[in-house]
Amino acid sequence: MNIHRHPLLSPAPGTQRELVSLHYGPDAQSSGGQKAYIQASLHADELPGMLVAHHLRRLLDELDATGQVSGEIVLVPMANPIGLSQFVMHGHQGRFELTTGENFNRHYPDQIDNVAKAVESDLGPDAAANVATLRRALKSAVLSSPVETELQSQRRTLLGLSCDADIVLDLHCDAQALLHLYTEVPCWPDCEPLARFLRSRVTLLAQDSGDNPFDEACSQVWWKWARHFAGRFPIPQACLSVTVELRGAVDVTHELAAADAQNIIDFLRWRGLIKGDRPPLPDPVGDARPLAGSMPIKAPVAGVLTFVMEVGAEVRAGDVLAQVIDPVTAEITDLKSPVDGLFFARDFVRFASAGMRIAKVAGREALRTGKLLGA
Ligand SMILES: [Zn+2]
- Taking only the tens place, the pLDDT of each residue in 5-57 is 999 999 999 999 999 999 999 999 999 999 999 999 999 999 999 999 999 99
**285 membership: H or E segment, kind and range:** none
Give the pLDDT band (50/70/90) at residue 93.
Answer: very high
Predicted confidence (pLDDT) at residue 375 exceeds the cutoff of 90 = no
- Give the other-Cβ count within 10 Å of 97's Cβ: 19
- Give the other-Cβ count within 10 Å of 125's Cβ: 9
Mean predicted confidence (pLDDT) in 73-80: 98
CA of 116 from ligand 1 middle (Å) equals: 30
- Which pLDDT score is estimated for 135? 98
Instruction: Please identify every residue whose CB atom is under 5 Å from ligand 1, which is an ion.
Output: 43, 46, 172
CA of 40 from ligand 1 middle (Å) equals: 10
Cβ–Cβ under 8 Å, residues 245 and 260: no
Sequence-ordered strand ranges (E) for the chain: 2-7, 18-24, 35-40, 72-76, 87-88, 91-92, 167-172, 176-177, 180-184, 202-206, 240-245, 287-290, 294-298, 303-307, 314-315, 320-325, 332-336, 341-346, 351-352, 357-362
Q: State what percent of residues in the chain have pLDDT above 90.
A: 98
Query: How much is the mean pLDDT over the chain?
Result: 97
CA of 173 from ligand 1 middle (Å) equals: 6
Mean predicted confidence (pLDDT) in 54-68: 98
CA of 43 from ligand 1 middle (Å) equals: 5
Mean predicted confidence (pLDDT) in 176-183: 98
The tens digit of pLDDT for each residue in 219-275 reads 999 999 999 999 999 999 999 999 999 999 999 999 999 999 999 999 999 999 999
Predicted confidence (pLDDT) at residue 330 exceeds the cutoff of 90 = yes
- Which pLDDT score is estimated for 374? 86
CA of 53 from ligand 1 middle (Å) equals: 15
Predicted confidence (pLDDT) at residue 281 exceeds the cutoff of 90 = yes
Mean predicted confidence (pLDDT) in 188-195: 98
CA of 70 from ligand 1 middle (Å) equals: 30
CA of 15 from ligand 1 middle (Å) equals: 26
Q: State what percent of residues in the chain have pLDDT above 70.
A: 100
CA of 222 from ligand 1 middle (Å) equals: 24
What residues contact residue 282 under an 8 Å CB cut-off, 6+ apart? 196, 197, 199
**Which of 83, 46, 338 shows the shortest CA–CA distance to 177?**
46
- Give the other-Cβ count within 10 Å of 169's Cβ: 27
CA of 112 from ligand 1 middle (Å) equals: 25
CA of 174 from ligand 1 middle (Å) equals: 7
This prediction has a pTM of 0.98
Higher pLDDT, residue 335 or 370 = 335
CA of 233 from ligand 1 middle (Å) equals: 36
